[in-house]
A and B are shown apart, each in its own frame.
Chain A
């Protein structure tokens, strides 16, 4: 344990440096604040509904395409629903899909990267060749297949496979099982360098099990590439959800997401351009912010490394 303890001190001072560097990166800080605001607004969606006396789900055919006013701050959509609150509820879903899928992919990627990097040998070769194979796949057509398969045939309980949220679980799942490659490669590379460090050697000499070594000793030292890659991929996932929606395979109504709102509005672009502007802007700004934040994190965690 003493070996592990000695590694903690440098981590602390590095953390301090990290925060200082991040705080100096204005675009990243602005992005972080912006994302926090967006997330907060999305969480407050029911409060907005109550305060404004509007509903994101209730249709009102006598109030379609209303222009913004005191109650409907962003107007209403083609079914007379309040656009602002729909946008906020859609934000919950889009952010949820982005965060959970990216986290899922990170967990899978970290596991594969750790095992490949630490174990080495044939296992490493196998895992890395698999990774190369997955990277080489034309992903979108495959996602289409995955998005259309019958979950009940795979033994998923009917109550989950057929619920209103099924499309959400499905998207999270399929993005996670194909999106882990970047993290796996980064973690493997980091593990390879950490593996030879003294504290790992010491732990090995003390007869600590390899699972413990991977989790307790190596993982804390490979966190930074995981954090960066995951942050960047949240944005990518949100964009991917909109693309899947465009192809008719995204989050299904009545659950709103930015992607399906934008796809819906696309056909009405000439009639009510504002309906397309809001979700489009929400996606754009959020993805942009995640990219800047990821970029900033990278710079802060590893200032000498080149920016990717």
Chain B
């Protein structure tokens, strides 16, 4: 028994030894944000990651961005350019194309964290690397469109665009990098990707110019940000912000409850139904803010499939889904039903489109009309004796999508449609099945976009991916509509308010008539905040709330 006593004592010691310390409650001048993923790399032009956006929102500022009211504002520039103030002018490219010249002035006092002023040198440097193919910048299309940049002085410069589009003054993704730190690494463009300072030494002060700068990185776990002394704006309240990654969302929630973290960021936090359940139990101790955003959940329909070529079948498929119940029962109404891909909060949204309420009888009638009349074993068959059997795919492991899928499966069984579920891991689904148009009939996924995002790549007939065009475009359904093509072409270049309204309305109405995809709902993000945290304003679009982190306070 001696041995077992030792064991008991050791176990007890292990359990009690640390009970004195308790969970580390952050004092209120420190904030610990919980997120579910760790960024892959820190360079704003190589990495494309939601958590990185969150970090960079605190430590850098884009020239322009959409604010929480979805209006375009200047952050790094002094004045938002417009035709009225003469900062946007027509320009013709050397080869005679319609272009634009747009003036910007860098904000006074903009300084890198090491004290070096942020100037047009950095702007030109960033543009130069962006143009070099070998450097491997992700978003090179932006740089291809910038025909040239001319600097008038240290703060004023003009971008010459080789395309004339509406709202060209928005350069939200033109991420400036410091010439004085990066020039040497970029001298060999092919090696820049691995040698850049953001990835090799992300805690260098000179890489940041926002209210905070990154001061510590524990790969995979935590990123610590502290106030940047060279920041031009309002001094931020928190003297330290820690972003902690906990990938398992159940564990993330547990960490919040145990006080390890203060706040779960909505941009990259827990799933909606988890947040709803959380709110039910902990509404007294936490504020849960649900922000519907520009995540458009929908089901793409493969229009090459003969069954789905009939618009009556497509409409029947939408009438048969009880989207209202999905929204109210599964998401407590936090995720509104979508009529088209344009969000109701978007200024170009119209309500004047064909609606598809839950009407199974209408759906059955439409299917009868389409020739699927012979019901055998609960499944409709057509005159040729083919069963009405379709297949739905989505990202495996996404619990909410899998749940919605199974609800749709039940809904369809009621109208005699046999829906088979076949999910794939995200990397397979997006990497191959959807992008190479290999799905058989239905594919459920989301588009994430910015306000007033023209759906050219997803709906224009020239954007159907194929072997011939090297799989370019995102019109995965294979949707072709002359009317839609024209509306898209027009809406990009006819910038008057009346034209914008007209063509945006046409886009939405055509979409709802033709149904190349079944709109489901707009996804909401859940921000779980302690009551003492004030000033966090969720945006609902791809630009994170941390872009206004200097307004965050504790009370």
Measuring CB to CB, which residues of chain A are less than 8 angstroms from any residue of chain B?
57-62, 64, 78-79, 148, 150, 162-164, 166, 248-249, 252-254, 264, 266-271
Hey, which chain A residues are within 8 Å of B329, CB to CB?
A: 61-62, 64
Cα A164 to Cα B409 in complex, Å, equals 13
Chain B interface, >50% SS class: helix
Q: Which of B9-17, B128-136, B395-403 forms contacts with chain A? A: B395-403
Task: Determine if A270 and B421 form an interchain contact, defined as CB atoms under 8 angstroms apart.
Answer: no
Q: Which of B402-427 contact A (CB under 8 A)?
A: 402-403, 405-407, 409-410, 413, 420-423, 425, 427
Q: Provided the pairs A248-B396, A253-B423, A266-B250 are in contact, do residues A61 and B407 lie with their beta carbons within 8 angstroms?
A: yes
* A258→B325 CA distance, assembly (Å): 28
Cross-interface CB contact of B403 among A57, A78, A269, cutoff 8 Å: A78
Segment 175-232 of B: residues with Cβ below 8 Å from A: none
Which chain A residues lie closer than 8 Å to B322 at the CB level? 61
For the complex formed, measure the closest distance between the CB of B250 and the CB atoms of chain A, giving whole angstroms.
5
What are 16 of the A-B contact pairs (CB < 8 Å)? A57-B410, A60-B410, A61-B325, A61-B407, A64-B329, A78-B273, A148-B428, A248-B425, A253-B405, A253-B423, A254-B409, A266-B250, A267-B249, A267-B273, A268-B273, A271-B281
Q: For A254, list chain B residues within 8 Å (CB).
A: 405-406, 409, 421
The residue of chain B having its C-beta at the shortest distance from the C-beta of A271 within the complex is B277
Residues on B close to A: CB < 8 A?
249-250, 253, 271, 273-274, 277-278, 280-281, 322, 325-326, 329-330, 396-397, 399, 402-403, 405-407, 409-410, 413, 420-423, 425, 427-428
Q: Are the C-beta atoms of B399 and A264 separated by less than 8 Å? A: yes
Distance in Å: Cβ of B378 to nearest Cβ of chain A: 12
Q: A166 to chain B: which residues have CB within 8 Å?
A: 422
* Contact partners of B397 in chain A: CB under 8 A: 248
Q: A58-B410, A62-B325 are in contact. Are A270 and B273 (CB under 8 A)?
A: no
| Contact partners of A249 in chain B: CB under 8 A | 425
Residues in chain B near residue A62, CB distance under 8 A: 325, 329
Partner of B277, one of A58, A59, A268: A268
Residue of A nearest to B398 (CB): A248
Contact A148 B326 (CB under 8 A): no
Query: CA separation between A59 and B271, bound complex, in Å?
Result: 21
Question: Contacting B410 at CB < 8 Å: which of A59, A269, A270?
Answer: A59
Contacts of B278 in A (CB 8 A): 270
**5 further A-B pairs in the complex, CB-CB below 8 A; given A64-B329, A267-B271:** A61-B322, A62-B325, A148-B425, A162-B422, A164-B421
Shortest distance in angstroms between A178's beta carbon and chain B's nearest beta carbon? Answer: 20
List the A side residues contacting B425 at CB < 8 Å.
148, 248-249
Distance in angstroms between the alpha carbons of A191 and B326 in the assembled complex: 61
Nearest A residue (CB) for B423? A252
Kindly provide the distance from the CB of A271 to the nearest chain B CB, expressed in whole angstroms: 3
Contact of B406 among A79, A268, A271 (CB under 8 A): A79
Considering residues B249, B326, B406, which has the most beta carbons from chain A within 10 angstroms of its beta carbon? Answer: B406
Closest to B329 in A: A61
Across-interface contacts of B402 in A (CB, < 8 A)? 253
Residues of A within 8 A of B271 (CB): 267
* A152 shortest CB reach to chain B, Å: 10
Q: Which residues of A contact B410 (CB under 8 A)?
A: 57-60
Q: How far is the CB of A58 from chain B (nearest CB, A)?
A: 5
CA distance A59 to B330 in the complex (A): 12
Q: How many angstroms between the C-alpha atoms of A60 and B330 in the bound complex?
A: 11
Looking at chain A's contact residues, is the secondary structure mostly helix, strand, loop, or mixed?
Answer: loop
Q: How far is the CB of B190 from chain A (nearest CB, A)?
A: 30
Cβ of A116 to closest chain B Cβ, rounded Å: 37
A270 to B271, CA, bound (A): 14
Complex: how many Å from CA A73 to CA B402?
25
**Cα of A267 to Cα of B276 in the assembled complex, Å:** 12
- Residue on A nearest B391 in the bound complex, by CB: A162
Cβ A79 vs Cβ B399 within 8 A: no
Determine the chain A residues whose CB is within 8 A of the CB of B325 once the complex forms: 61-62
Which residue of chain B is the closest to A268 with respect to CB atoms?
A: B277
Q: Chain A residues with Cβ under 8 A from B277's Cβ?
A: 268, 270-271
- CB <8 Å contact, A61 and B330: yes
Using CB atoms, name the residue of chain A closest to B396: A252
In the bound assembly, the distance between CA atoms of A64 and B328 in angstroms comes to: 12
Chain B residues, Cβ within 8 Å of A269: 250
A148 → B minimal CB distance (Å): 6
- The answer on a CB contact under 8 Å between A253 and B406 is yes
Q: Which residue of B lies closest to A81 (CB)?
A: B406
Residues of B within 8 A of A148 (CB): 425, 427-428
Whether B274 lies near A267 (C-beta < 8 A) is yes
Give the distance in Å from the alpha carbon of A149 to the alpha carbon of B280 in the complex. Answer: 41
Q: Name the CB-closest residue of A to B253.
A: A270
CA A164 – CA B403 in complex, angstroms?
A: 16
Whether the pair B423, A59 counts as a contact (CB closer than 8 A) is no
Cβ distance B84 to chain A, nearest Cβ, rounded Å: 51
Residues of B within 8 A of A59 (CB): 406-407, 409-410
Decide: B421 and A253 in contact? CB cutoff 8 A: yes
Tell me the nearest residue of chain B to A245, going by C-beta: B397
Q: Who on chain A is nearest to B408 by CB?
A: A59
Distance of A67 Cα from B271 Cα, bound (Å): 24
Chain A residue with Cβ nearest B326: A61
Min Cβ gap A85→B in Å is: 15
Residues of B within 8 A of A64 (CB): 329
> A148: nearest residue on chain B (CB-CB)?
B425
Q: A248 to chain B: which residues have CB within 8 Å?
A: 396-397, 425
The answer for the CA separation of A268 and B274 in the assembled complex, in Å, is: 6
Q: Flag if A267 contacts B406 (CB, 8 Å).
A: no
A58 neighbours in B (Cβ, 8 Å): 410, 413
